[in-house]
Amino acid sequence: MNDSSFPLVDTHCHLTWESFDPDLDDVVRRMGEAGVAQAVVVATDPATARRARAICAGRPGLFAAAGVHPNDVPDDWEGAVAEIAGLLDEGGFVAVGETGLDDYRDHVPAERQRLSFDAHARLAVERDLPLIVHIRDRAGRWVAYDDVAEILERHAGLRGVIHCYTGDVAHAERYRAAGFHISFSGILTFPNGGNVREVAAVTPLDRTLVETDAPFLAPLPWRGERNEPSYVAATARRLAELKGVAEEEVRRVTTANARRLFRLPEEE
């Protein structure tokens, strides 16, 4: 059991991934033992949204999101978004996503990604749900980061999170001005994560979240292994070091942020 008395929230994990099939309940048990009380299980398409909702049902502390990842936007993007809208109307989801723009893997045309992302943003406003945003661009380029900001700024009342942030300070400030939180993953612990640490150090704690993006991006000392929600404690610890505050303070504030944004219960 973690010696900190305050729980954590893993705001982004993919427990629908096949690598969790053999031991999902053990993963959830270890999550609790590490002091991670809640986790948001994020979808990448309608099928994983259904699976996320099924996984969360009957497992206290797990909450599902529904959306289409930019790398998974099909030719019939309107049909996919309509399917997500139908799932949201059925209930059982705390957020829309993940969605966003990805110019790193550009096999989905950029315009189709933008149309899908904009439609997801409209859904989030209409359903009064937070939006979970993915951004990735090629090294040295900021096109995706600029385009995301422009789309977010179109939608009055939109709120959400830029997950697994890897951009610069200026873009993070722009997203915060648009009403978004900035979420940090295990990259905070990577030797080559200096740019992410720079942003984390200056982002106000009351607009900061922590996540695993499991099964990806396991923090040190597990880098290269399958990530899981319990490991978010290592990211919170590194964040506390960067900010020069107690780990308990990072746990208290980021958990309050997550519960407020996703409207999660205070107690399980």
Q: Which residue has the tokens 């978010």?
A: 232
Query: Which residue ranges of the chain lie beneath pLDDT 70?
Result: 1-4, 267-268
- pLDDT value of residue 107: 82
DSSP state of 216: S
Superfamily for 8-262?
Metal-dependent hydrolases (3.20.20.140)
- pLDDT value of residue 207: 98
Query: HSE (CB half, 13 Å, CA atoms) of 109?
Result: 7
**Phi, psi angles (nearest 5°) of residue 54:** -65, -40
- pLDDT value of residue 3: 46
- pLDDT value of residue 1: 40
The three state secondary structure string of the chain is CCCCCCCEEEEEECCCCHHHHHHHHHHHHHHHHCCEEEEEECCCCHHHHHHHHHHHCCCCCEEEEECCCHHHCCCCHHHHHHHHHHHHHHCCEEEEEEEEEECCCCCCCHHHHHHHHHHHHHHHHHHCCCEEEEEECCCCCCHHHHHHHHHHHHCCCCCEEECCCCCCHHHHHHHHHCCEEEEECHHHHCCCCHHHHHHHHHCCHHHEEECCCECCCCCCCCCCCCCCHHHHHHHHHHHHHHHCCCHHHHHHHHHHHHHHHHCCCCCC
Helices (H) and strands (E) in the chain, counts: 9, 8
How far apart, in whole angstroms, are the C-alpha atoms of residue 114 and residue 152?
11
So where are the chain's domains? 8-262
